Structure 1
């Protein structure tokens, strides 16, 4: 007796999927607390003019706001760490979410 193949949800094909479609395949288990932050908000507001953290993030987690201090939508984070390396002031707080939380990928 043959076993039925498990049901697999539709997944965007890489050759025609938008970034938004690809990000939709990433699951995030929210711990309720952000694993991202800004060490000294004044540095962003008074010193930063290029906002690399907002430009480098592939998931649009960091968003520039009026007043110069970015807002952070940590629930969308892919945990790539690009933001901490991109900040020329070393002003990004970044750590992995607590055990059992964070991003999980469907493929790869």
Structure 2
């Protein structure tokens, strides 16, 4: 693992993470609700940067590399915009050591 005065680089950290992607998304985003959002907190708060604004004012969420931290759900102030649950058994993020 490469390290500098700021710690390990992002690529090294990501090499210790495995994503077991389910066909069923564990987070869904209601684009219609998102269109009226003025803060777009999910765009800025998601540590994996998985929320992307669309040209028509909505939000696209790419769940495949989600850390399952729940930050998006906590910062969203638009009722019903984000539905969050844990991935079905055997799927989701797996943090490995070494």
Q: Given the two structures, how large is their TM-score scaled by the length of structure 2?
A: 0.83
Residue 34 of structure 1 corresponds to 25
Residue 51 of structure 2 corresponds to 62
User: Which protein is richer in strand relative to its size?
Assistant: 2
Give the count of matched residue pairs.
Answer: 95
Contact in 2 for aligned 1:37/1:93 (Cα 8 Å): yes
- For the aligned residue pairs, the C-alpha RMSD in angstroms reads 1.9
| Larger RCO of the pair (alpha carbons < 8 Å, separation 6+) | 2
2:34 is paired with a residue whose SS is helix
**Equivalence map 1:1-16=2 (5 Å):** 11-13=1-3, 15-16=6-7
Structure 2: distance between partners of 1:64 and 1:23:
24
Structure 2: distance between partners of 1:13 and 1:36:
33
Q: Which runs of 5+ in 2 are unaligned?
A: none
Residue 33 of structure 2 corresponds to 43
Residue 3 of structure 1 corresponds to none
Question: Based on CA coordinates, which of the two structures has the bigger radius of gyration?
Answer: 1
Structure 1: distance between partners of 2:11 and 2:58:
25
Q: Structure 2 vs 1, CA of residues 22 and 69 (structure 1 numbering), >3 Å: closer, same or farther? A: same
